[in-house]
Amino acid sequence: MTIAESSRSSPRGRTPLTSKATLSRIGLELFIERGFDQVTVDDIAEAAGIGRRTFFRYFPSKNDLPWGDFEALLDQLESHLDTVDHEVPLFDALRTAVSEFNRFPGDDHGLHRKRMELLLKNPTLVAHSTIRYEAWRAVIADFAGRRLDKPADHLQPKTIGQICLGISVSAHYEWLEQEDQSLPELIDSGFRLARDVFLR
Amino acid sequence: MTIAESSRSSPRGRTPLTSKATLSRIGLELFIERGFDQVTVDDIAEAAGIGRRTFFRYFPSKNDLPWGDFEALLDQLESHLDTVDHEVPLFDALRTAVSEFNRFPGDDHGLHRKRMELLLKNPTLVAHSTIRYEAWRAVIADFAGRRLDKPADHLQPKTIGQICLGISVSAHYEWLEQEDQSLPELIDSGFRLARDVFLR
DNA sequence: ATAATAGTGGCACTCGGTGCCGAATGGAAG
DNA sequence: CTTCCATTCGGCACCGAGTGCCACTATTAT
């Protein structure tokens, strides 16, 4: 049980039978075991002991399960960027932030790897991820916009968001192939390799 | 009727009732008129005078309709990159290729704009586009890999593919907002603005 | 107890997509 | 002309995701 669950006050009405976190965990287990396409929503609902209809009150779609609480990570990235010293060049601020954003405590490396394997290799999930990526890019674009004193929805900040995401994603793919490499370091390398191209 | 249709030899068996190009056109018209989500596959099949089952022999999914024959454009990009002088720096080769790849003869500007509006604004289509983007990035990564003398599936070429796509996509979004700007010029600007960030 | 409130889940429905199979079509061979 | 063959067509039945509706249930407040 998470802190969010245990510390919630007692509102009126029936207590929920499960939680997003629990469903996400159960779903992820099934997906890893049998493959995303081989698991139906009914399977997940049954495994969680809830009705199929109820599942869709916790998650808008089966595709959203593997992401878990991505919003929380996003808030983390956002608040980290807020604290970056104004003296740090934009490029380095982004490079470091994106890199650190993908450093996870050592305990759940295996699970995170399997989650990313699902998200980056299953076509349905790859497609669905665009929605999450949009929010991610927006955080970067906002920051870049502030730094460059331009609206976040203008060409340069938007492009920077796209580029940072692109670097992050390709580093993730590389990370899945190279068992031994650290993800933050791969992302850092990605930023540097990208710069080389622009400098050449 | 396209050249591809009229010039095809006569194979044995029944002649097809329609073509991918025709279906794509009909679908696009309906999507523009009523919105992607408000048009069912039955609607399209009926409008084309074929059965629903037959529709799925021409296109694997409703989502594939708006793209039309993207493969042809991709081949064009690929062969253009093949002809680029080795003296041209990688950055400039990419900037120019991506930019020119998005210059279209003046006749169907309106239609192309509406198509891109669909593809970039409808969530389902945005998500589905990832599949097409993958092929696009592969062309760029192949080229970059050859230039950098690295396998196309290694970190740097892959990252370059992601970045070029990112620049292209954000330029497209900008283009949809700014009625008057030329798409190739916006892409060119995107590349330059991106470089500025890396140079700082 | 009773009312108010919030979660549950069955039912029926829509829509995209697939497997199966027989019918329709048109060229080639006799 | 007839037969054969390749190929397309499309109906039918089915699956799974996702939704609207509504009655039911558990819990707290009065």
> What ipTM does the predicted assembly reach?
0.91
For residue B89, give the chain A residue with the closest CA. Answer: A200
Answer yes or no: do B112 and B30 share one domain: no
Contact status, residue B181 vs residue B128, Cβ threshold 8 Å: no
- Joined tokens for residue A133: 């990526």
Within A14-61, residue ranges assigned H as helices are 20-34, 41-48, 52-58
Answer yes or no: do B58 and B86 share one domain: no
Answer yes or no: is A4 within a domain: no
Domain count, chain B: 2
CATH classification at residue A20 = 1.10.10.60
Provide, for chain B, the percentages of residues in helix, strand and coil under a 3-state DSSP scheme, each rounded to the nearest 5. 75, 0, 25
Residues of B in contact with A154 (CB under 8 A): 174
Answer yes or no: is A1 within a domain: no
pLDDT in tens, B28-41: 999 999 999 999 99
CATH classification at residue A140 = 1.10.357.10
Answer yes or no: is B87 within a domain: yes
Answer yes or no: do A42 and A101 share one domain: no
Answer yes or no: do A52 and A76 share one domain: no
Q: What is the DSSP letter of B49?
A: T
Answer yes or no: do A22 and A75 share one domain: no
Answer yes or no: do A133 and A192 share one domain: yes
Q: What is the DSSP letter of B86?
A: T
Domain that holds residue A111: 69-199
pLDDT in tens, A80-136: 999 999 999 999 999 999 999 999 876 677 888 999 999 999 999 999 999 899 999
- According to the model, what pLDDT value does residue B72 have? 86
Residue A59: exposed, middle, or buried by beta-carbon count in 10 A (0-12, 13-18, 19+)? middle
Answer yes or no: do B61 and B97 share one domain: no
User: Which chain C nucleotides are covered by protein, judged by CB under 7 A?
Assistant: 4-11, 15-20, 24-28
Please report which confidence band the pLDDT of residue A143 belongs to, taking 50, 70 and 90 as the band edges.
very high
Interchain CB distance below 8 Å, B91 and A198:
yes
Distances (CA, A) of A100 to A97, A178, A179, A188, B19: 5, 19, 19, 9, 51
pLDDT in tens, A10-50: 778 999 999 999 999 999 999 999 999 999 999 999 999 99
Interchain CB distance below 8 Å, A170 and B161:
yes
Q: Is the pLDDT of residue A5 over 50?
A: no
In Å, how far is A17's CA from the nearest CA of chain B? 31
Contact status, residue A127 vs residue B131, Cβ threshold 8 Å: yes
Q: Is the pLDDT of residue B118 over 50?
A: yes
Answer yes or no: do A151 and A92 share one domain: yes
Answer yes or no: do B19 and B98 share one domain: no
Window A16-75, strand C contacts by Cβ < 7 Å: 16-18, 49-54, 57-58
Residue B38: exposed, middle, or buried by beta-carbon count in 10 A (0-12, 13-18, 19+)? exposed
pLDDT in tens, A154-195: 999 999 999 999 999 999 999 999 989 999 999 999 999 999
Interchain CB distance below 8 Å, A123 and B131:
yes
